[in-house]
Amino acid sequence: MTVVLLALRIEKHKRGKEILMVVYVFRHGEAVDADESLIDEWRYLTARGRKATEAVAGRLAHHGLSMCQIVSSPLVRAVQTAQIVAQSCGPAAALEINGLLLPGGNLSELVSFVRSYPAKHVMVVGHEPQLGMLVTGLLEYGQLITLKKSSCVILEIERDKPDKPAQFCSYAVPGTKPVKSLKKAFGKTSE
């Protein structure tokens, strides 16, 4: 099970009338394993997971997310991830908990929630494979996308054209430069 951050930013496109939503999908870093004394819901980020998450969150802070609304799953590792991102975004960032982002949540409800969220800047913190399927669906990609730990996918969606597939912008993984090509990031589609 993985945690993913999804951030949206709405802005005017340089060509004029188009309204774009920029979607950031961020998977959490390494978390401790569940065992007899620690149930899955209480798993927390390891020191290595926190460090990697902080590195990528720091890069995201340079994308205009200083006034960000963060929506998180209630699970501990999701909330910790959201807190790290909120610290990178600055004091105007706000955190909201939403059960739609629990593992196994309804994907079509999540898509509707993301597409209709009213804030200019929002991050959504959730879990794999749910949000990997979300990215795959938004891109209308021919194979399931799986994110590496502490990585971030950035997409653009034309808000006024909800049936149009999202456009891939980049994929950031800790310790590497962002990949600007969808095929290089996730391989060639089977279509």
CATH number at residue 127: 3.40.50.1240
Three-class secondary structure of residue 85 per DSSP: helix
Q: Is residue 55, in this structure, part of any structural domain at all? A: yes
pLDDT at 90: 83
- The CA–CA distances, whole Å, from 45 to 77, 78, 94, 124 equal 6, 9, 21, 18
Which residues does the chain have with pLDDT short of 70?
1-18, 63-64, 120, 188-191
**pLDDT per position as a tens digit, 85-134:** 889 888 888 898 999 988 888 988 988 887 787 776 778 887 888 889 88
Q: Is residue 112, in this structure, part of any structural domain at all? A: yes
Q: Is residue 158, in this structure, part of any structural domain at all? A: yes
Q: Is residue 109, in this structure, part of any structural domain at all? A: yes
pLDDT at 10: 45
Q: Is residue 15, in this structure, part of any structural domain at all? A: yes
Question: What's the structural domain count of the chain?
Answer: 1
Instruction: Report which DSSP code applies to 166.
Output: P
Q: Is residue 153, in this structure, part of any structural domain at all? A: yes
> pTM, whole model, 2 decimals?
0.84
pLDDT at 137: 85
List the domain range (segments joined by +) for residue 98. Answer: 2-186
Alpha-carbon span 62 to 176, nearest angstrom? 16
Q: Is residue 191, in this structure, part of any structural domain at all? A: no
